Amino acid sequence: MQKKDADYEMLKKLIHQKLGFNCEQYKDSHFKRRIDVRLRATNSKTYGEYVACLQTDRNEFPELMETLTVNVTNFFRNPEVYDVIEKQVLPAIIKAKSTGLRSIRIWSAGCSIGVEAYSIAMLLKHLLGDDFKRYSIKITGTDIDKESLARAQRGVYSRMEVKDVRPAFLNKFFTKEGNDYVINDELKKITQFKKQDLISGPKMSGFDAVFCRNVTIYFEKELQEKLYMDFYNALSKDGFFVMGKTETLLGPSKDTFKPFNSKERIYQK
């Protein structure tokens, strides 16, 4: 093995040890692109130099984690998807739950700073109106990045992050504090955020909808196939799966999910 390759392997091992981040499942090209951002930032010419930097500068690991998990995120991203969710997906779930326990369970996988989970929470509150309290609603956001999860729990967002929130929702569901917008307690009560590795973490189940958008694009094909079946198994009967616009069902999941709205990448169990 050439020294460059050995250094790269050493770097991946170090990241796994220190950050619990499984580099092996990511496409090499994507992974290297993210790593190169930190090489440039630390003036490291090689992977070996960057390993040395990580071993001497304890502030570099958080920076690296941020770079590895960063994604552009704001409320109601891809409004056309949320339009179908508001007008068709959530009403179907609510209708199916209108008797009995009235329990609604939704999973936002790879939730980052929580904007997707809270976007869904706003729509549910809006659709249910006065009936909201008659339902037991739990929206679970999971991610591997502790910083993002802490932000999701705080529920404090910038003007840029709330730019696509409709004005009525902004007035109703947020409190303005200085330049920040804070999610109200009613929505915080129905959301929970926890650390979960989609790849090696425990399997989850019992959901009426699973959202995993623009997360699997970074994974190798075999892993994507496995994850899509994990999501299938995480759903209750007739549950919905919402994926990213650039993602496609692969392997067995192609035949097990039925299309609900293929254009917006929404499928049903």
136 pLDDT exceeds 80?
Answer: yes
Q: Is 210 exposed, middle or buried (0-12, 13-18, 19+ CB in 10 A)?
A: buried
- Asked if 244 and 215 touch (Cβ cutoff 8 Å), the reply is yes
pLDDT of residue 260: 97
81 pLDDT exceeds 70?
Answer: yes
CA dihedral 191, 194, 198, 204 (to 10 degrees): -60
pLDDT tier, 258 (very low <50, low <70, confident <90, very high otherwise): very high
Buried b / exposed e along 154-180 (16+ C-beta atoms within 10 A): ebbbeeebbebbeeebeeebbeeeeeb
28 pLDDT exceeds 60?
Answer: yes
* Lowest-confidence region among 95-109, 115-129, 207-221: 207-221
User: How far apart, in whole angstroms, are the C-alpha atoms of residue 217 and residue 81?
Assistant: 18
pLDDT of residue 86: 98
pLDDT tier, 146 (very low <50, low <70, confident <90, very high otherwise): confident
Q: Following DSSP, what letter does each residue of 206-218 receive, concatenated? A: -EEEEEE-SSGGG
- Percent of the chain clearing pLDDT 90 (strictly above): 66
24 pLDDT exceeds 70?
Answer: yes
CA 55 → CA 28, 43, 48, 68, 89, distances in Å?
Answer: 23, 15, 11, 18, 49
Return all residues near 266 (Cβ < 8 A) that are at least 6 apart. 81, 84, 85, 89, 240, 241, 242, 243, 259, 260
51-74 mean pLDDT: 82
pLDDT tier, 72 (very low <50, low <70, confident <90, very high otherwise): low
19-40 mean pLDDT: 80
pLDDT of residue 257: 97
Identity of the residue numbered 92: A
61-83 mean pLDDT: 82
Q: What are phi and psi of 166, to 5 degrees?
A: -65, 145
pLDDT of residue 1: 54
- Asked if 87 and 127 touch (Cβ cutoff 8 Å), the reply is no
pLDDT tier, 17 (very low <50, low <70, confident <90, very high otherwise): confident
- Asked if 217 and 246 touch (Cβ cutoff 8 Å), the reply is yes
More confident residue, 221 or 188: 188
Dihedral sign, Cα of residue 160, residue 164, residue 167, residue 169 = negative
pLDDT tier, 16 (very low <50, low <70, confident <90, very high otherwise): confident
pLDDT of residue 268: 98
- The DSSP call for residue 200 is T
Number of H helices, E strands in the chain: 12, 10
Q: Which domains does the chain have, with CATH numbers?
A: 3-69 (1.10.155), 79-268 (3.40.50.150)
pLDDT tier, 200 (very low <50, low <70, confident <90, very high otherwise): confident
User: How far apart, in whole angstroms, are the C-alpha atoms of residue 145 and residue 133?
Assistant: 32
47 pLDDT exceeds 90?
Answer: yes
256-267 mean pLDDT: 96
